[in-house]
């Protein structure tokens, strides 16, 4: 009975992930479903390709780091996740695709709701015929 419940949960989860991939116009492959299954079940919402690759080592499907990178970039291009350039060293990926900002303290990245940040930008700073498409903001914290 326990196993049946677990299988049913896994099945629903997989169906859900396949629906998300289809909605993002991403061709379903075994590896993509597998990687999406892991990343949408990670505890933290922000992760690197290396962290996701480490998670795959516990599963039965072998996936190279290059495949993880390519898959994450593909997911990002299709809007399933966001790419987050925190510094020149590391690229993070973000499951939260809603408009929001980030606060970084040591190596921890957390979300800040867009409505909690006020950005004052003089309209004269925006060239004629252009408008703001998006604003990315990472607030880096250090000890006082
Ligand atoms: Zn985020």
Per-residue pLDDT of the chain (144 residues; tens, 9 = 90+): 334 444 444 555 888 999 999 999 999 999 999 999 999 988 889 999 999 999 999 888 899 999 999 999 999 999 999 999 887 778 999 999 998 999 988 878 999 998 999 988 888 899 999 998 888 888 889 899
List, as ranges, residues with CB under 5 A of the ion ligand 1: 94, 96, 111
d(CA 39, CA 45): 8
CA of 74 to the centre of ligand 1 (A): 18
Domains, the chain, ranges and CATH? 2-94 (1.10.10.10), 100-141 (no CATH)
CA of 44 to the centre of ligand 1 (A): 10
- pTM > 0.85: yes or no: no
CA of 128 to the centre of ligand 1 (A): 31
Are the CB atoms for 75 and 26 separated by under 8 Å?
yes
CA of 7 to the centre of ligand 1 (A): 31
CA of 96 to the centre of ligand 1 (A): 5
User: Rounded to the nearest 5°, which phi and psi values hold at 11?
Assistant: -60, -45
């Amino acid at each position: 009975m326990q196993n049946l419940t677990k299988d049913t949960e896994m099945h629903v989860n997989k169906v859900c992930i396949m629906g998300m991939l289809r909605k993002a116009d991403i061709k379903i492959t075994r590896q993509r479903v597998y990687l999406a299954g892991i990343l949408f079940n990670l505890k933290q919402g922000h992760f690197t390709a290396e962290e996701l690759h480490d998670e795959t080592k516990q599963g039965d499907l072998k996936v190279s780091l290059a495949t993880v990178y390519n898959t994450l970039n593909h997911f990002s291009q299709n809007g399933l996740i966001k790419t987050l350039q925190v510094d020149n060293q590391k690229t993070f990926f973000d499951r939260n695709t809603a408009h929001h900002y980030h606060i970084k303290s040591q190596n921890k990245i957390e979300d800040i709701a867009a409505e909690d940040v006020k950005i004052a930008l003089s309209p004269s700073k925006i060239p004629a015929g252009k408008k703001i498409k998006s604003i990315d903001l990472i607030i880096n914290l250090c000890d006082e």
